[in-house]
Amino acid sequence: MFMLIPALLLALPWWTLVWAPTGGTGTLFWIGTAVVAVLFACLPVAMFLGHGPAQSDPAVIVGDALLGVSWVFFAWSVIGVFVRGALTVIGVDDPARPVAAGVAITALALTGWGVYEARRVPRVRTVDVAIRGLAPGLDGLRMVVVTDTHYAALNRVRWSEKVVDVVNGLEPDIACHAGDLADGSVEKRQTQVDPLGKVVAPLGRFYITGNHEYFGDAQGWIDYMAALGWQPLHNEHRTLTRDGDRLVIAGIDDPTGRGLPGHGPDLPAALTGADPDLPVVLLAHQPKQIADAVAAGVALQISGHTHGGQIWPFHYLVRLDQPVVAGLSRHANNTQLYTSRGTGFWGPPLRVFAPSEITVLVLHPEPA
């Protein structure tokens, strides 16, 4: 599988961009074939050195970038196959060359744009959410959500500082980080995470684990975020008060945590002792945790994890695993789910048709 995936990603672009327009002969064919062969050799080696035992950050950067570019060229080569077939049907003579040119230009342009979208400070997305049972004193409560920051091999300290500036400029009552904080140990990534300690939110700053914390040092990140002044919600809740009215905010672990003693989602434990008459806002990293939220009568679940697909058309694959890819959705028992496209990116430093976001959820009482 380690060799098969790069082979599949590169074979179709090779056929579309190299073999088909050249007929398998000539200088351009051999140059193009050599380039694809080098990529095929480099991609698995870089991924192994980066994500394997060596944990080499330079290799991570190279391998993830090659993976992202390969996916973009693969996706548009698939489209090129259908376009070529349609042109052949309508009688266009030798459509291979114009199709190859179109695929190459489109893929290169989207790769450049995708890098820009991934590295930029996210846009702010404001969403009004009507909450059943929300008391009047909490009308207009502002929850600012960041998630899936994935601080990793690329040093993004300055980006992190700019994100915090944006968050503070939004004047949140509550700040939330919905998991996948960083890839790697606290020792390696803490300088990128440190700016989060400057977030200001009068009613509290809350953090939950995502699945990626459990690929590294989940307890270490829980402890470190607590040291920065954030309140980790490790299957627990807090009751918040404003103008005499109250709201419960709860958080549960990611399901990946079940492999670590003392971790794993436990919503009944998280809500133990909570006033059953108060609306509950739940932080749960994966949208598919909505089933438990519905059963518990949660008013609003806030999730990330999907990245909105991150690189089109990957969202179709995400949808096979998750009930929602992005946005506000309503589920059974009058439970709502907001799924963020994420603030950072994972792996390939690209975002294509899935822009990152810093989310402002403005809560209002649901009309009777």
Q: Which residues pair with 130 in a beta bridge?
A: 364
In this prediction, residue 320 has a pLDDT band, given cuts at 50, 70 and 90, of: very high
Residue 248, pLDDT score? 98
pLDDT of 188 above 90: yes
Q: Say yes or no: 106 and 229 in one domain.
A: no
Domain count, the chain: 2
Tokens of 355: 């822009």
Where a domain ends, among 119, 142, 172?
Answer: 119
Where a domain ends, among 119, 149, 165?
Answer: 119
Residue 293, pLDDT score? 98
Average pLDDT, the chain: 96
Q: Say yes or no: 195 and 245 in one domain.
A: yes
Which helix (H) or strand (E) segment is 251 a member of? strand 245-251
The residue-averaged pLDDT of 335-363 equals: 97
Peptide bond into 276 cis (omega under 30): no
Q: Say yes or no: 345 and 207 in one domain.
A: yes
Q: Say yes or no: 114 and 160 in one domain.
A: no
pLDDT of 43 above 90: yes
Q: Say yes or no: 152 and 113 in one domain.
A: no
Whats the size of the chain, residue-wise?
A: 368
Q: Which domain holds residue 200?
A: 123-365
Q: DSSP secondary-structure letter at 17?
A: I
Residue 321, pLDDT score? 96
The residue-averaged pLDDT of 293-298 equals: 97
Q: Per residue in 220-249, pLDDT tens?
A: 999 999 999 999 999 999 999 999 999 999
Which residue in the block uniquely carries the two structure tokens 């070529």? Answer: 84
Q: Say yes or no: 84 and 127 in one domain.
A: no
Q: Say yes or no: 323 and 208 in one domain.
A: yes
Q: Say yes or no: 65 and 205 in one domain.
A: no
CATH number at residue 223: 3.60.21.10
The residue-averaged pLDDT of 338-362 equals: 97
Tokens of 287: 């949208």
In this prediction, residue 213 has a pLDDT band, given cuts at 50, 70 and 90, of: very high
Q: Say yes or no: 84 and 198 in one domain.
A: no
Rounded CA-CA distance 328/336 in Å is 7
Q: Per residue in 142-161, pLDDT tens?
A: 999 999 999 999 999 999 99
Q: Say yes or no: 71 and 194 in one domain.
A: no
Q: Which amino acid is at 328?
A: L
Q: Per residue in 110-137, pLDDT tens?
A: 999 999 999 999 999 999 999 999 999 9
Q: Say yes or no: 71 and 142 in one domain.
A: no
Q: Say yes or no: 222 and 281 in one domain.
A: yes
Where a domain ends, among 54, 87, 119?
Answer: 119
Return the percentage of the chain with pLDDT > 90, whole number. Answer: 94
pLDDT of 1 above 90: no
Residue 137, pLDDT score? 95
